[in-house]
Amino acid sequence: MGKQYIGIDLGTSSIKMGLFDQDLSLQHGYQQTYQYMNSANGAREIDPNIWFDIVLTGLHQLVKHARSSDSIAAIGITGQMHTTVFLDQSGNIVRPAILWNDTRTKALVVGLKKQLNIIRESENAKIVSTGSPLVNLIWLKREEPSHFKALQHLLMPVDYIVYRLTGHYSTDYCDASTSSLFDFKQSRWATKICQEFGIDERILPTIHTSSDVIGELKFSLANQLGLPSVVKVVAGTGDNAATALANKTDQEQQPLISLGTSGVVVVPNRRHQLKQIGKNIMFKVDAENESVLTQGVVQTGAVLNDWWLRSIINTEDADAEQRKIPRRLLGKNTVLFFPHLNGEKTLYADPNLRGAFIGIGLETTKDNMYLAVLEGLAFGCRQLYEQMRNCAATNFIRIVGGGAKSTLWLTIFANVFGLPVHKRTVQREAIDGAVMLALIGDGDNVTAQAEDDVVILPDRSLKQAYDVQYQKYLKMATLLISDALRTGDEEVEKMSSLS
């Protein structure tokens, strides 16, 4: 009787779980949405107990569908990155977790970047932003000193679930290296940063490879679930790294674009190259398998599609609306769209940046504007890719996520990038990567079912047309990021004060 594995994906607004066989075939799934606190001052918080309650409910459901009580061998976890969990000496919650999309700390970021550069921590200065664990720690120290004093353990969401399942504090290299608290030269916590900002390094968890077995399921939990306590729990990793693993990004050494809530561009390299642009993620699957994933993000990714359809034209039928767009418009659209509706962290480091349509006239139709939205995200992703690309030639790009369901969008990407676009017939997501880590941690081989790729090739004339459009997009971006044209929170406040 074959072993089975459980995968957990802790997203920003839902938790997805699954029971998988050794060939990564899903036998039973469970998903539950949840809400977090969203305040006008930019605060985004949640009680971490909400996560674990959902996970526990999901485990009960999955165990019911297992072949037997002893078929489940290991659990792998992935999820949102940067979100910061604060625990006291006993492992109890000090205060609600601060989510990755919390923006109340934006006033601290500019000064923090300068301070990090002064102490020659340029890599961390580059990536530190609102929602980063380092920023959240400094904010806690300044604004809630009693909570900072009570803090004895700092974890990220994946780490917290691992802790609740095993009783052990841990993290992996992926989450550690994106925390702005990591020493990239020594591959350990940055003692210099901790000393500079008065942070006790002992609150930071031990760093592991993503497939390291952190412990076994706690006896009390195993007993409650009707499982043997020998079920292993691995360290897990962040969602983008898990998605890259599931889609063999390290093996293929080709860029990966994830069209989910945000548009994520991931460029892998095995040479330990730390790129000047983008967030360099240290991803160690195991002791022998290490790579750097350089990541850039368009904050508003495939969510742009939902925004246009639901909020602007009041429909949910994306297929119908995309069929209405004349194919002769591709590469010839007179309307351009700047896709940064919710700030930008990689190229411009501006949480106040907002989007725009340019080129609207009396002749503009709904089709022009919808196509511009789809094209705008492709242009934004190309701009990220060109800043982060490897020296070696790129053969193709792989696209995953909800946006990959749209053949029109994939066609636009293929011609905007001038490269073949590959999409798996069976989508592999972050939860599949989590299960792969569980398999590796259990000493098993990953033998996924054979899959074919859908390949969309660029058209030479259309590619040339989009090259012209892309240059127009870059000129538009240069104008829109000038101080005179920004329309973020600060400008809104100024205009409000004049009324």
165 Cα distance to chain centroid: 23
CA torsion through residues 360, 363, 366, 370, sign: negative
| Domain-located, residue 57 | yes
In DSSP notation, 310-336 reads: IIIS----HHHHHHTS-GGGTTT-S-E
Nearest in space to 361 (alpha carbons), one of 388, 343, 391, 334: 334
Q: How many CB atoms lie within 10 A of CB 143?
A: 11
Given 215, 240, 265, the domain boundary residue is: 240
Q: Which domain holds residue 37?
A: 4-240
Whether 432 and 246 have beta carbons less than 8 Å apart is answered as: yes
**In terms of domains, do 265 and 215 share one?**
no
Q: Encode pLDDT of 187-203 as tens digits.
A: 999 999 999 999 999 99
**In terms of domains, do 275 and 169 share one?**
no
129 CB-contact burial (10 Å; exposed 0-12 / middle 13-18 / buried 19+): buried
Nearest in space to 232 (alpha carbons), one of 157, 166, 159: 166
Q: How far apart are CA 3 and CA 1, in angstroms?
A: 7
**In terms of domains, do 234 and 349 share one?**
no
Number of domains in the chain: 2
Query: What is the per-residue pLDDT for 495?
Result: 34
Whether 392 and 433 have beta carbons less than 8 Å apart is answered as: no
| Domain-located, residue 246 | no
**In terms of domains, do 483 and 417 share one?**
yes
| Domain-located, residue 245 | no
Nearest in space to 129 (alpha carbons), one of 155, 110, 143, 149: 110
**In terms of domains, do 263 and 224 share one?**
no
**In terms of domains, do 352 and 399 share one?**
yes
Q: How many CB atoms lie within 10 A of CB 144?
A: 15
Given 178, 207, 240, the domain boundary residue is: 240
Nearest in space to 130 (alpha carbons), one of 349, 340, 307, 357: 349
Length of the chain as a residue count? 499
| Domain-located, residue 291 | yes
| Domain-located, residue 130 | yes
Q: Tell me, what CATH number does 389's domain have?
A: 3.30.420.40
**In terms of domains, do 206 and 295 share one?**
no
| Domain-located, residue 199 | yes
* Residue 308 DSSP class: I
- Residue ranges for the chain with pLDDT beneath 50: 484, 488-499
**In terms of domains, do 403 and 473 share one?**
yes
| Domain-located, residue 41 | yes
Query: What is the per-residue pLDDT for 118?
Result: 95
Instruction: Let me know the angle formed at the C-alpha of 89 by 85 and 90, rounded to the nearest 5 degrees.
Output: 90
Given 208, 240, 272, the domain boundary residue is: 240
Using a pLDDT cut of 90, give the percent of the chain over it.
80
Instruction: Note the pTM of the prediction, 2 decimals.
Output: 0.88
Instruction: Let me know the angle formed at the C-alpha of 214 by 177 and 206, rounded to the nearest 5 degrees.
Output: 40
Query: What is the per-residue pLDDT for 272?
Result: 74
**In terms of domains, do 365 and 392 share one?**
yes
**In terms of domains, do 363 and 457 share one?**
yes
Give the three-class secondary structure for 417. helix
**In terms of domains, do 309 and 448 share one?**
yes
**In terms of domains, do 232 and 298 share one?**
no
| Domain-located, residue 179 | yes
Q: Quickly tell me which residue has 């058209």 as its tokens.
A: 459
